[in-house]
Structure 1
Amino acid sequence: MVFVWEDGDLNDEQIDAIEHEGSVFLAACPGSGKTRALTYKIALELSKLDSKRHWVIAITYTHRAAEEISERIERLGVATDRLWIGTIHSFCLDWILRPYAIYHEKLQNGFRVVDQHETEVILDELCGQSPHQVRALDCRYYYTTAGCQLENANPNRRLAALSVLNQYWQHLEENRLIDFEMILSCAYDLIVSQPSISILLASLFRYILVDEYQDTKEIQYNIIARIVNASGGNTRIFIVGDPNQAIYGSLGGYAMTRVDFAALAGVDIVEKSLASNYRSSERIVDYFSAYSVVPANIDAVGAVREFPSLISFEQEVNQQELDDEIVRLIRYNIETLGIAPHEICVVGPQWIQLAAVTRRLVAALPEYSFDGPGMAPFSRDQDNIWFKVSRLALTRPDPQIFIRRTRWAREVLDHLGSAGVDVSKISPRDLLRICNGIDITVEDGLEYLELFFAELLLVLDVDLELFPALQEHYVAFFERSRVQIQRLENAGVQGVSSVAMFRRVFATRTGITVSTIHGVKGAEFDTVIAFALLEGMVPHFSDPNAAESASKLLYVVASRPRKNLHLIAEAGRINGIGIPYEATQVLAEHDFAYDAFNEAG
């Protein structure tokens, strides 16, 4: 039965995009219901599949987005057994690398993906051995179809960085390892060298949907386009994003035009748009629209359209007073304006600033809890099977999340099967029953997981030593988790190793969120407080397109809140060569009637 939505679920713009039979290139402004449109499009195309061998593929920028969309589709009552959804890296692993590794020289004898922590450890060691002054930061890179590109290396250190990278790649190859960037490179190699892969995948995929296209890399566009091209018009594409939020340029992300992608994929694509903002007040919309790089007419049409938003910009506060200012703003929003703590987000440009600020906020506001991706007390490598098992271990049976836990169980069984474990007689519900029956009564989070995993393996009759891939994931999960716990404890976070803290990772958001600008993209809150909006940080000092990047970063920050926005460019920070940071130029030059309420609260 074809999926039908209720009247009022979608506006005319969304319906026009969703009902289009061909391929669509959809530009969606912040708060325009982009995720809703994507969700309903997926549900519609799933309901129209006429063969059990066909799939709908949805590629999201983050695992969080994939999880949110999956849950929304499940709530619509549409079966998701023919939906694959995840990041481009997970897509390449599941559909290209694992099935066809035998055809790639680097992968044919087996491989394991190293996480960011392992990469940093290896690079730090190699940089320490280098006779040149080179840092792991200088060695960050990404691939294009033409080869390796360094991210932001100091020009004087490029040759030294490449020398270290060559040693790094050699180390990975000798140990049958690949990193996240090599996932894309190897997938592209296979797609190019084995055209039959694209032809086979194209015969399976009826629709490929891509979220956040503006942050997609050139090599990713090419992987997707080759599959679409091989379909002869049978695989259609639905691409959604906002070029004004293209903030991953230093990592190789960019907003390809409709014309260029159509030519690359060999398909006709119509361009459509969503220009109605349902999230924010008119004042917030007017403010962030001023930072548009690509012209966009955005209309505030939501329930808070006429809300009298507070928008403040503070340049006088000193770095030493920053914590007090953030605490004041948090208290004012909660105690005077009635904003719920979980609807407040504190944003900084980098985790290095956030870690110190978070430690002091936790101490200054003991009555409130704090949440954030960087505050998870264990490894969140989404492609590690033990992270997937931890989701079942740390969530309790609850009818409201039964479908979600069933999906997680299916993912665990799929991963076990790909590692060689015979799971043919175990259903996702069987696995849930097994997990629900495991009773561990210890207070330490890592000890809890170790005992839980051991009990699960015992019940499944799986000897970890007989499955090297599972064992390697196990070691990596716990090593990374111990490092993460130590980092948080060093930052002053209390109770980080407890089971209760571990369970909070998968619980509904309850505390004040702490995030980087890049990490907050896609989220929304009633109030956003952003600090360190300083030239050299926003944008990064090595960014060759500084003004444009600053505008896009500010656009993202300012479009997150529904109601209130507080911007801080604190004085007193000094860069590495002793020069004081100044407010981000694009921000300082924005002529706006900011609210001043220093005496409030």
Structure 2
Amino acid sequence: MHSVDPDDILARLDPEQREVAAHPTGPMVVIAGAGTGKTRAITHRIAYGVSSGAYAAPRVLALTFTARAAGEMRTRLRELGVAGVQARTFHAAALRQLHYFWPHAVGGGAPEVLAQKVPVVAEAASRLRMRFQGSELRDFAAEIEWAKVGMLTPETYPAAATRAARTPPGLDLTAMARLMSAYEDAKADRGVIDFEDVLLLTVGILRDRPDIAATIREQYRHFVVDEYQDVNTLQQRLLDLWLGGRDEICVVGDPAQTIYSFTGASAVHLQSFTKAHPTARQVSLVRNYRSTPQVLGTANTIASMPGGARRWGGAALVAQNAPGPAARCVHYADDVAEAVGIAGIVEELLAGGTAASQIAILFRINAQSEAFETALAERGISYLVRGGERFFSRREVKEAIVLFRGGVRADDGDTPLPDLVRDLLTGAGWSRVAPTGAGAARERWESLEALALLADQLLATNPSARLGDFVRELDERAAAQHAPTVEGVTLASLHAAKGLEWDAVILAGCSDGLIPITMAQLGEEIEEERRLLYVGVTRARRHLVLTWAQARTPGNAGHRRLSRFLDFLAPDAGAGVKSGRGKGSRDKAGRGTSRASMKPARQAVCRVCSAPLSTATERTTRRCQSCPPTYDEPTYEALRTWRALVAKSASVPAYVVFTDATLTAIAEQQPSTNAEFVAIPGLGQRKMDLYAAGVRAVLAGEDPAEVAARHTS
């Protein structure tokens, strides 16, 4: 590798990025907004540290969350003249250590890792004489993952799931815990482990074998963690063991892009980093090099609304690019019209010179994809669906690679590589003309077409390339999960779009019920939906179109409203959309309403941050879910003890006395008069007569057991 002058490395960066790179040792936390060059900053930090002699490349472990991101980091480091840095995902790094140290710690070879949980979950359910559909089994597999990354056991799961308001479909929490236990037994009988076990077992070895822990800590002395807002409890525990009390760590993340809490990820580790490392240097990257001022204006407005960046801990992004076209908000009568309209917008973009591979249609749930696939196929527009099976795991891709391997010996050296590849692909079912319609046949063709185009790209960069070179290229890409670019419009869910970017983004289905999704009820759940929309908007470089439909099917009355997160766009999105009750709509009782007759209800707001309150729990406590409780912990615990004793004596569940939300409101507001007591939502005259005296006694500091005893005597 070529050597690089350390000063040259710093000269390539903006002031904030240079602040990151110029301090390669010691703890550092980087809050990096979307498109602000975080990968550039941290790779230059590593390169500067190596070139300046601060540390040796093999002593650095850079951790990411996707194989693609790890591959990109390695590529950038090579371009900077740095070789030997280990850039891996948490799982890849742990699996490598597990395979190496298993013979020393346990004996024999490490167990095989399950490719999928669902078959074993199905076996576990069968052992318990339970029968479920495939979708339910996938939900249970996801719930098992959530429990394991939280380091929960079947015994501790029910209580933790109750606190987190988890509700596995079709099972109560006790039954879910039994299924978890049966799943672990089924794995043990098969002699396999799952991906979470890779981390759990590595944690166990490092904890129980100080000699192995010391060996790993000697190998890796400097750590970099990308996307730190997505770290879960288990990954943080493993990271702590790798560090072993040292503070040579740089973390990079953006609390405004925390969208995976359903998997156990939490921005708490990012937000509390300076507490764990008091001497940490803090840097914020806010210069956005991806998007136009118009795109960022929409993103910043979404984030600056009550509950936005102020709560997330982010900052407004500052555009560095030239102005572009204005963001558009378009509404349609129904979902079918929306899909057809979006296909038309895609045609306009293509006609204007935007490449198909630089256009994305993003949506909240995968079920929305089919309508867009059909509309694009009817117009002959190529597309690919992202977020499903990995490219190199697809059956047609595997079959094609087998054909390529078999064809290497028959390569006569005269047939141009692209022609040879296409001849072989014909045997795998590829044709020069794309099939009409949507679905599996079209997806299969798109996969094979991507291989054909990759052969063109390889020949362009290496004119002497032959089929053997092409096979080696595919092997390298498969190892790095570096899928080829398909020249088609990308269809992806908002979650699958994280970390990607396109010249043009069409955000579809921007109506309440989809964004935010109906299932989001609690304050923090609503905020995560807002962040999800923010992530989707910030994927766009130049063109941004937001669309929504008033009805699901043609001919039906339009009851939908524009997403509450986009109310600021209502003047451009259609008459009456902000209220959601335009002419001809109906109220909950089915009565027709007119806009003129409606009076806006007074909005309850958080007494801490003044953000709107959206759930019954928030209105009861008069505090939004994202703001921390303001009660005194001993007082709250005393009230809980008193409630439990009173409920036990009456042989009723504790919530019959007071719900958790009501108990929290009492602890925070500490009512001293009957008027203050009944002013708390959920408390009326009856509960005041029954419990007010006891509540006041506990709040006054009396022993909760004695107060409860007086109540029952």
Common fold by TM > 0.5: yes
Paired residue type of 2:114? V
Q: Which residue of 2 aligns with 1:479?
A: none
Q: Which residue of 2 aligns with 1:284?
A: 295
For residue 272 of structure 1, the aligned residue among 280, 283, 286 is 283
1:436-478 per-position Cα deviation (integer Å, ceiling 9, x unaligned) = 9xx9973368799xxxxxxxxxxxxxxxxxxxxxxxxxxxxxx
Contact 1:280 1:300 in 2 (8 A): no
For residue 506 of structure 2, the aligned residue among 522, 526, 529 is 529
Following superposition, the deviation at residue 257 of structure 1 comes to 4.8
- Per the alignment, do residues 41 and 6 of structure 1 end up closer, same or farther by CA in structure 2, a change over 3 Å counting? closer
Q: Tell me which stretches of 4 or more aligned residues in structure 1 moved more than 6 Å.
A: 50-53, 389-394, 444-448
Paired residue type of 2:541? R
Following superposition, the deviation at residue 299 of structure 1 comes to 4.3
1:525-580 per-position Cα deviation (integer Å, ceiling 9, x unaligned) = 12111223454544454444322111110110111112222223334449xxxx99
- Per the alignment, do residues 499 and 514 of structure 1 end up closer, same or farther by CA in structure 2, a change over 3 Å counting? closer
- Per the alignment, do residues 170 and 533 of structure 1 end up closer, same or farther by CA in structure 2, a change over 3 Å counting? farther
For the pair shown, the structure with the greater C-alpha radius of gyration is: 2
1:79-116 per-position Cα deviation (integer Å, ceiling 9, x unaligned) = 32x21112111111113x212224777x965311122x
Contact 1:58 1:209 in 2 (8 A): yes
- Per the alignment, do residues 120 and 512 of structure 1 end up closer, same or farther by CA in structure 2, a change over 3 Å counting? same
Contact 2:298 2:537 in 1 (8 A): yes
Paired residue type of 2:231? T
For 2:258 and 2:47, the matched residues in 1 are separated by 27
Following superposition, the deviation at residue 242 of structure 1 comes to 0.5
1:260-307 per-position Cα deviation (integer Å, ceiling 9, x unaligned) = 33555x673221110111211222112111232333443433233x22
Following superposition, the deviation at residue 493 of structure 1 comes to 3.0
- Tell me, what secondary structure is at the counterpart of 2:268? coil
- After alignment, is 326-335 or 180-189 more displaced? 180-189
Q: Which residue of 1 aligns with 2:250?
A: 238
Following superposition, the deviation at residue 494 of structure 1 comes to 5.3
1:378-404 per-position Cα deviation (integer Å, ceiling 9, x unaligned) = 4179xxxx98x969979x99xxxxxxx
For residue 307 of structure 1, the aligned residue among 307, 312, 324 is 324
- Per the alignment, do residues 238 and 556 of structure 1 end up closer, same or farther by CA in structure 2, a change over 3 Å counting? same
- Tell me, what secondary structure is at the counterpart of 1:93? helix
Paired residue type of 2:336? Q
Paired residue type of 1:586? R
Count of residues in Structure 1 that have an aligned counterpart in Structure 2: 494
Q: Which residue of 2 aligns with 1:55?
A: 59
1:75 aligns with 2:86: no
Q: Which residue of 1 aligns with 2:353?
A: 338
- Per the alignment, do residues 299 and 349 of structure 1 end up closer, same or farther by CA in structure 2, a change over 3 Å counting? closer
Paired residue type of 2:229? Q
1:36-92 per-position Cα deviation (integer Å, ceiling 9, x unaligned) = 11221222234356887942111112111112222222223x132x21112111111
Contact 1:144 1:219 in 2 (8 A): yes
- Tell me, what secondary structure is at the counterpart of 1:374? coil
1:552 aligns with 2:531: yes
Q: Which residue of 2 aligns with 1:90?
A: 92
For 1:538 and 1:103, the matched residues in 2 are separated by 51
For 1:362 and 1:124, the matched residues in 2 are separated by 37
1:351 aligns with 2:363: no
Following superposition, the deviation at residue 584 of structure 1 comes to 7.0
- Per the alignment, do residues 308 and 496 of structure 1 end up closer, same or farther by CA in structure 2, a change over 3 Å counting? closer
- Per the alignment, do residues 6 and 38 of structure 1 end up closer, same or farther by CA in structure 2, a change over 3 Å counting? closer
For 1:517 and 1:369, the matched residues in 2 are separated by 17
Q: Which runs of 5+ in 1 are unaligned?
A: 398-435, 449-487, 597-601
- Per the alignment, do residues 104 and 238 of structure 1 end up closer, same or farther by CA in structure 2, a change over 3 Å counting? same
Contact 2:510 2:563 in 1 (8 A): no
Paired residue type of 1:513? T
- Per the alignment, do residues 145 and 364 of structure 1 end up closer, same or farther by CA in structure 2, a change over 3 Å counting? closer
- Per the alignment, do residues 318 and 223 of structure 1 end up closer, same or farther by CA in structure 2, a change over 3 Å counting? same
Percent of aligned pairs with the same residue? Answer: 21
For 1:228 and 1:258, the matched residues in 2 are separated by 16
Following superposition, the deviation at residue 496 of structure 1 comes to 5.4
TM-score (norm 2): 0.61
- Per the alignment, do residues 186 and 157 of structure 1 end up closer, same or farther by CA in structure 2, a change over 3 Å counting? same
For 2:361 and 2:283, the matched residues in 1 are separated by 34
- Tell me, what secondary structure is at the counterpart of 1:271? strand
- Tell me, what secondary structure is at the counterpart of 1:244? helix
Contact 2:288 2:320 in 1 (8 A): yes
Contact 1:369 1:510 in 2 (8 A): yes
For residue 119 of structure 2, the aligned residue among 118, 121, 129 is 121
Mapping 1:513-528, distance limit 5 Å: 513-528=490-505
Q: Which residue of 1 aligns with 2:263?
A: 251
For 2:427 and 2:195, the matched residues in 1 are separated by 28
- RMSD, matched Cα: 3.9
TM-score (norm 1): 0.72
Following superposition, the deviation at residue 341 of structure 1 comes to 1.7
Q: Which residue of 2 aligns with 1:317?
A: 333
- Per the alignment, do residues 303 and 491 of structure 1 end up closer, same or farther by CA in structure 2, a change over 3 Å counting? same
1:188-210 per-position Cα deviation (integer Å, ceiling 9, x unaligned) = 22232223333322222232111
1:403-427 per-position Cα deviation (integer Å, ceiling 9, x unaligned) = xxxxxxxxxxxxxxxxxxxxxxxxx
Q: Which has the higher contact order (CA 8 A, sep 6+)?
A: 1
